[in-house]
Structure 1
Amino acid sequence: MIGFLFTLGAIPAIYRTYGSISFELYDQEKHKILRIYKYSVNHRIMLGWAPMLLGPIVSMFTDRFDHSTNNKTYAIMRVVFAQFEYDLFKDIRESKELASRFFSTNDYNHALIVTSKSANDEYLASSIYSELNKIFLKYGISILERRKLNEVINEIQLSLAGITQARDYSKLGRLLQADRLILVEDLNITSATTSVLGRINFSIRCVDSETGKVIWSEKIAESMLLSETVDMVVNSAARKLMQKLKQSGEI
């Protein structure tokens, strides 16, 4: 502080705080703590001309620096979470027992069902089915062959728009021999503007065919630029969906 005052801020004044942050991996069934990750925190707030001038530049290259004098800065948690993520993934790679708690060992059979409200949406429905099927297979999710799916649906003459009850899921799941149903619904394209051809919208959810429980659910809204095709937009939406499901731990 003395150097700061005598040099009119050329030498920064430093305010320090200390603490620690802990993460616990907890087994809810056995009421047991599996592992504890604890990190010490040494936070510094620097006041002066140098931090003011260099702060915006330095913060572009590292998460450890935040151009702020706010004690509630997010920089602390960004750094700690990044270290925790690194340590956790390292332990998961090295421990099969720990890995088994984070990854499902069950191989589910999925049936991908895309419903459209009108004949005009058939091309879009077909494109969505094709692109989603590619992405799901790429991520190791087994999808029922479409030919078999259509044969079963035509045989039972089922109104897919009316699949809302657990008994409907169970019946369709048994006929398709599918553990889970991935349903794409509310499919539509909004009108075009001067900058975009339109917006593709649909909702998608994964349902356990035995219990009717929704495993995950998302709404998709993607703008289609003048230089893009339907397949390109749907492929982009499918990739974003898979990344979101992976980040949330749904798959």
Structure 2
Amino acid sequence: MLLNNFEEENLIVKSDLSKHNVQRYDFKSISKDDYHQNIKEDSKIINQTKDISTNESEIKKTNSASLERELIERLLQKTDELSSSLAKLQIQFEKQQIETEQRVATARSDAYKDGLKEGEEKIKKEMLSEIEKEKTALIQSVITLDKEMEKSQKHLEELEKELSTIAVDIAKEVIVKEVEVNSQKVAFELSKELLSNIVDATDIHLKVNTIDYPYLNESLKDSHKIKIEADDAIAKGGVVIVSSSGNIDGNLMSRYKTLKQSVLDNLRS
């Protein structure tokens, strides 16, 4: 029916038939041998297809294994690179740690040195301050000592004056007592002392107390140029010399006063 329809309804327009080569197709008849042959060929094709599938599977497995190995190698490479990087980081960290420790040690050393220097400066300042205090105290002590020595000197001078005055007064008492006991001997010793100062004088008159006259007249009898005279106005133990060289008052009290005044004058100067 399809053929009839085909014949009835031609797909090519009759006007265009001359432009086309249209032939009838005859279908080939298939025998049993051909059928079996076709089956064998189909089986062969199927087997070939299976082999191809198997080969493709093996290729896929091979490719998968290759990719896995490549992936593992890349992972191992990355692991090695990471290990190397970690080792470098470890070395760098240790280096930085050493540098940090060195810096800390240097900082501590510098801080210690600075602290030591600061401590030395502080101790030096304290010592200088103490020295200045001691120096000031010593100067003050010297000033105080000078003042005390000045006071002591003045006190000694006053004491010396008093002692000198006392000594002169004591000498006076001794002389007075000696005169009371041995006035003629006192007068004789005083006469020798005074006469030794006028050995070149002439016309010497020696006046003594009446009580002392006999002793001196006897003691000086060999001195021809001396004339001894008794005079009650002369105190016992005292003498007065009148000569060409001048007069000498040998009165003991007068001599005592002169001696005392001389001592006092020397103490004042």
Structure with bigger helix share is 2
Tell me if TM exceeds 0.5. Answer: no
Normalising by structure 1, what TM-score?
A: 0.18
Normalising by structure 2, what TM-score?
A: 0.17
Rg larger in 1 or in 2? Answer: 2
